[in-house]
Amino acid sequence: MKKGVIVLVVLVLIILPVISADLIIPGFSIININNYITNIDNFPDYVFITAPINSYILHMCGISNLDRLDDYYPLQNYYKGCRISVYAVEKEKINLVEDIKVKMKKQHNSSDSEMILNEFEELEELGIVKEVIRDVRSSKSVFIIASTQKEINNYYTIDLNQVKTKPDRVMIKRNALFYWYMGISLIAIGIIIFLIIRRKPIKKSKKIKRKK
């Protein structure tokens, strides 16, 4: 009976980190990716904006200007599922982008979104907006049992002569509980193995010989 209780407690400790997590699908969890630009102040003649990479998510992600927060310019205020790019626009031409943003607020369906994004792409072809960072994400799913990642902070620097697809610096916050749960799980497995090894073999009952 006692062995059964011990095994039950051990199993609960093993599966606890899985059942207590914020899951999207069994065994996986979403972690935040915070993205920052560190050198926008080096380009006083430009305004930097974000826009989605396709029209299907335009209504969720939108087109917005980057604002300073403390020492950096965070890429925020957009839906977690968004994939966006960062663009540089000369200040004297920003009114053309503002017109598109007004139209975006009045969109009613997917065809409107596609038309608005097409107008934005035309501005890019004309060189009015210039892509400087491509395909930025704000979250990702990780396998809970195998990953120690808790949060990711990406830091970008702007270079008007290239389109960056990777951050210049990455800082990852680790989940200390992961190591605690792993330690508990290893101890639990050790206890189970110990109980199996120490289990005494069942004694065979002696047969009583009948007297003739």
> How many CB atoms within 10 Å of residue 208?
6
Give the whole-angstrom CA distance, residue 16 versus residue 96. Answer: 54
Residue at 164: amino acid letter: K
On whether residue 209 sits in a domain, the answer given is no
On whether residue 42 sits in a domain, the answer given is yes
Q: What DSSP character marks residue 160?
A: T
On whether residue 17 sits in a domain, the answer given is no
144-154 pLDDT, tens digit each: 666 677 889 99
On whether residue 28 sits in a domain, the answer given is no
Q: How many domains does the chain have?
A: 1
Write down the pLDDT at residue 197: 83
Give the whole-angstrom CA distance, residue 144 versus residue 21. Answer: 8
Helix (H) or strand (E) holding 149: strand 149-156
Write down the pLDDT at residue 195: 81
Based on the number of CB atoms within 10 Å of its own CB, is 192 exposed (0-12), middle (13-18) or buried (19 or more)? middle
Lookup: tokens for 116: 């608005």
Entry pTM: 0.67
Give the whole-angstrom CA distance, residue 82 versus residue 57. Answer: 7
On whether residue 114 sits in a domain, the answer given is yes
Look at 171 and 63; give whichever has higher pLDDT: 171
Dihedral, CA atoms, 85, 115, 105, 130, nearest 10 degrees? 30
Residue 93, domain extent: 35-175
Residue at 138: amino acid letter: S
111-161 pLDDT, tens digit each: 677 788 788 888 988 989 999 999 998 888 776 666 677 889 999 999 999
Give the whole-angstrom CA distance, residue 41 versus residue 169. Answer: 18
On whether residue 15 sits in a domain, the answer given is no
On whether residue 110 sits in a domain, the answer given is yes
Write down the pLDDT at residue 202: 54
Does residue 6 register a pLDDT over 60?
A: no
On whether residue 167 sits in a domain, the answer given is yes
| Residue 4 bridge partners (DSSP) | none
